[in-house]
Structure 1
Amino acid sequence: MAHESSPENLVRAARAVGVTDERLLEAVRVTPRAEFVPAAHVASAYWDAPVPLPHDQVTTQPSLVAMMVSALGLTGGERVLEVGTGYGWQTALLARVAAYVVSVERWPDLVEEARRRLAGHGVENAVIVLGDGTLGVPARAPYDGIIVCAAFPEVPEPLVTQLRTGGRLVQPIGPGGRERVELYERRAHGLVHRATVTAAHFVRLYGAHGYDQR
Structure 2
Amino acid sequence: MTAQDSQGLTPQMLLAGYAQGIFPMATSRGESRLHWFEPQWRGVIPLQNFHMSRSLARRMRRGNITFRMNDDFAGVVQHCADRDETWINAPLFDLYRALFALGHAHSLEVWEGDALAGGLFGISLGGAFFGESMFSRRTDGSKMALVCLVDRLKQAGFTLCDTQYLTPHLASLGGVEISRAAYRKQLAAALRVQADFTALPVAPAQLVVQRMTQTS
Larger relative contact order (CA 8 Å, sep ≥ 6): 2
TM-score w.r.t. length of structure 1: 0.29
Structure showing greater Rg: 2
